[in-house]
Amino acid sequence: MNKKLTDGINTTFITLVVLSLLVIFLSPFAFMMVTSLKTREQISVVGAPIWPAAQPKYTYQGKEVDVYTVPLKQCAGFDTNGNATKNLAITKKGRQESTFVDPNDLGRGEFVCQVSWRALDRPWIFSPTWQNYVEVWNTIPNGYWRILGNTTFYAVVTMIGTVISCILVAYGFARFRFPGRDFLFIVLISTIFLPGAVTIIPTYSFWQKLGLVGTWYPLIVPHFFANAYNVFLFRQYFMTLPRELDESAMMDGAGPLKILWSIILPQSYPVIIAVVVFHIVFAWNDYFGPLVYLSTAKQNWPVSVALSFYNGIYGSQPQLIQAGAMMALLLPVILFFVAQRFFVQGIVVTGVEK
């Protein structure tokens, strides 16, 4: 009985701690969500509440005027000792005093209140602008649908390329002995340390000469030639697979490709899924590659680049950027949610086996 109690307390405690950490950690998300529901004007108002709030307006004599909460005792023609406040529409703004009119009592006409209108409370009304999402969907160049398509295309094609090429190369490193193998492996690893700046200009010129800047080729082709991280991953994993199965298959006359296909790969699904998921997340948010090579081809932009469209020098639209970002998050998050079960469990299972 006692154990159950302490267990219960421990569970609640730990869960609460993690939950509060999570809330703090994700609070910018809340801010993001909230910003995506405001209009540009709402963002501009200093002192506005954090939730999407609009100040009510009233149409008086053909003009739209703002409504404030005014303490009536400051106003002409009211009880100077009362504490009542009313929502009044401002018709003339002034420093020391302003003229108001009561939307519910137009008969009274306009009257003056000795208030500083900026210091007045405003009767905010909750006013989320879901229209922002529609606007992003429609105004982003070539349509959001297309942008999502570009991003998916980029992610999937590069994923295929990298998985195929990295598996092949890793297989070569893991299962074959030849002089210089270890040296080449070290060279492979050292490419991780390469600052991008060292290769960018010559590489860009290379693609420029081929006339392929503005197309997907400069971004996709390199992935078909393997990259150090994935190769390292696969190689390490392959090296943990026992060679006996390989050897018996070799005795049976199987060539190296067949061995790869029917022996190695079926045992490797956790690492393959891991690479697939990680790569897709990487490609989904890849910013610089597409920026450099696709800057002149608006129809090919992926999401990460397209969002910058709303960050023009002459008028940034934070609410549209956040709305676009929220929409861009959807797919990778779903993918991750679904896949994490598989590969983390896979890793744990294989770990525990040992």
Residues in region 72-101 near another protein by CB under 8 A: 93-95
304 part of the interface to another protein, by CB under 8 A: yes
Residue type, 88: L
The burial class, CB within 10 Å (0-12 / 13-18 / 19+), for 245 is middle
Binds another protein by CB under 8 A, chosen from 5, 61, 83, 177: 177
Q: Give 20 or 79: the residue with its C-beta nearer to another protein.
A: 20
344 part of the interface to another protein, by CB under 8 A: yes
308 part of the interface to another protein, by CB under 8 A: yes
Binds another protein by CB under 8 A, chosen from 173, 246, 264, 272: 173
- Stretch 15-34 residues interacting with another protein (CB under 8 A): 15, 17-19, 21-22, 25-26, 28-29, 31-32
> CA-to-CA distance for 347 and 345, rounded, in angstroms?
5
202 part of the interface to another protein, by CB under 8 A: yes
> CA-to-CA distance for 278 and 245, rounded, in angstroms?
29
CB of 215 to another protein, least distance (A): 5
Site stretch for another protein (CB under 8 A), options 71-79, 103-111, 121-129, 330-338: 330-338
The burial class, CB within 10 Å (0-12 / 13-18 / 19+), for 44 is exposed
Site stretch for another protein (CB under 8 A), options 80-88, 103-111, 152-160, 298-306: 298-306
> Which SS3 state, helix, strand or coil, does residue 326 take?
helix
**Whether the Cβ atoms of residue 304 and residue 172 lie closer than 8 Å to each other:** no
The two tokens of residue 56 are 């009510």
**Whether the Cβ atoms of residue 96 and residue 120 lie closer than 8 Å to each other:** no
191 part of the interface to another protein, by CB under 8 A: yes
The two tokens of residue 235 are 């190689």
CB of 107 to another protein, least distance (A): 27
- Stretch 231-260 residues interacting with another protein (CB under 8 A): 231-234, 236-237, 239-240, 256
271 part of the interface to another protein, by CB under 8 A: yes
**Whether the Cβ atoms of residue 300 and residue 215 lie closer than 8 Å to each other:** yes
